[in-house]
Each structure stands twice: as C-alpha cells, then as structure tokens.
C-alpha cells in the first residue's frame, strides 16, 4: 500500500513539473468584471495597421503550440503624449498555428481551435479589446487595462506594455502575459471542470503577446 502511494505521489509530482515547464510564459493578467468605458478627450487618433498583432501559446502536459491572430482594424487615442483610449478588432478565423507544418497536424489543430470546443469561430468570428485606462507601471512600462470580449464574454484585463511615440506613429508592445480561457467559457479539456483527464488535460492559461503599430 505504501509503495502504491509513493508511486502515485511520484507520478503526480512529475506531472506537475512537466505541466509547469510547458506553461505559457508571462504573469497572469489581472482579470475582473468588465469596466465602464468612459470616453476621454483625445487630440490624436492613430489607425492600427492590419497585420498579425497577437501571438498566442497553448499548452498541455507533454507539449505546447503557438501561433498568431490578425488585428483587422482599430484605433489608439492619445492626448498630450499619453494613451487615453482605443479599440482593436481581432479576426478569430485568422488563427494560425506556427509550429506545425501543413499536412502534419497543422490543419487539424487549427480546425479544432476554431471549433465549438474552443473559440467557436462560426458563431464568434471576432473578438475585441477596448482600452479603458493606461497607468504608469514599473521599469518605464505602462499598465494597460481594457475590456476583452471573446466568445460573447467581456472581462477587464490588465497587462504591462511598452508604449512608444514616434513621428506620426505609436507602437504598443505588451510583455508576455496569460489569461484563463475558462473565464471566457472555454472549458474543453480543463482539469478545473473535468475529472480523470490525466495527461489529456489542457492548461487553462493561454499565453498572449500583443504588438500594435499605428499611424495618424
């Protein structure tokens, strides 16, 4: 009996550390109920370029995958050299897996992520992020807070980002951060909701890194 308990403990510990090693990079975004959007005076409105502006990482015990999502349109509002608002639209059908080759699981994984098990793209073709406030953070960075709407669910998230103004342009580059997919209704493969998944469990935390460039 003691031998069985010891073996079980070893398996659990190994599984735990394997899961941690595969967990997405970055700190958890501060997530709360959606905030009221208050329009603030802006002297400049920058239009976001159309390009893959979001990198994502998903993981489970034994492996991980990563890819991109395209920001189709958006604006960033500024006043006196400070970001005071803005909103971007994300094309969920643009989801691409970067670490798998065509014909070797790439299409299967992308199709599954777009299915009702995860992003349900057929019913939720876009997601949005609307900035509600930007405050000073550590190490010259800013803390960006905004309402993320995904799968018809809206949550306020806060993450650190580097904001730089140039001649007629602005760039916003977030640090690596994570959100909990179950906060937005994606429970497939989550050990938080289903028992006996064992090595089939998929990490609740999804890694994100946002990079936006915009011009007047």
- pLDDT tens readout for residues 52-64: 899 999 998 878 9
Rg (CA), the chain: 19
What average pLDDT does range 19-26 have in this prediction?
66
- pLDDT tens readout for residues 180-201: 999 999 999 999 999 888 888 9
Domain count, the chain: 1
The CATH number given to whatever domain includes residue 103 is 2.40.128.110
- pLDDT tens readout for residues 30-47: 999 999 988 888 899 999
Q: How confident is the prediction for the chain on average, in pLDDT?
A: 89
What would the two tokens of residue 193 be? Answer: 């909701």
pTM: 0.88
Domain that holds residue 41: 2-215
Write out the DSSP string of 144-207.
Answer: EEEEEEETTEEEEEEEEEEEEEETTEEEEEEPPEEEEGGGGT--TT-TTT-SS-GGG-B-SEEE
């Amino acid at each position: 009996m003691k031998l069985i308990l010891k073996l079980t403990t070893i398996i659990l510990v190994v599984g735990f550390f394997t899961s941690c090693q595969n967990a997405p990079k970055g700190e958890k975004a501060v997530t709360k109920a959606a905030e009221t959007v208050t329009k603030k005076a802006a002297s400049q409105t920058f239009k976001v370029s159309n390009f893959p502006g979001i990198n994502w990482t998903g993981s489970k015990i034994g492996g991980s995958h990563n890819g991109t999502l395209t920001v189709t349109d958006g604006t960033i509002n500024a006043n006196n050299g400070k970001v005071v608002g803005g909103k971007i639209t994300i094309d969920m059908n643009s989801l691409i897996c970067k670490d798998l080759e065509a014909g070797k699981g790439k299409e299967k994984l992308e199709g599954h992520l777009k299915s009702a098990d995860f992003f349900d793209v057929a019913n939720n073709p876009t997601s949005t992020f609307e900035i509600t406030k930007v405050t000073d953070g550590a190490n010259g960075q800013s803390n960006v807070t905004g309402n993320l709407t995904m799968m018809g669910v809206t949550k306020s998230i806060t993450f650190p980002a580097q904001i730089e103004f140039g001649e007629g342009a602005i760039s916003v580059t977030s640090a690596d951060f994570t959100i909990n997919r179950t906060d937005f209704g994606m429970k497939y493969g989550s050990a938080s909701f289903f028992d006996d998944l064992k090595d089939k469990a998929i990490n609740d935390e999804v890694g994100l890194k946002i990079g936006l460039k915009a011009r007047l």
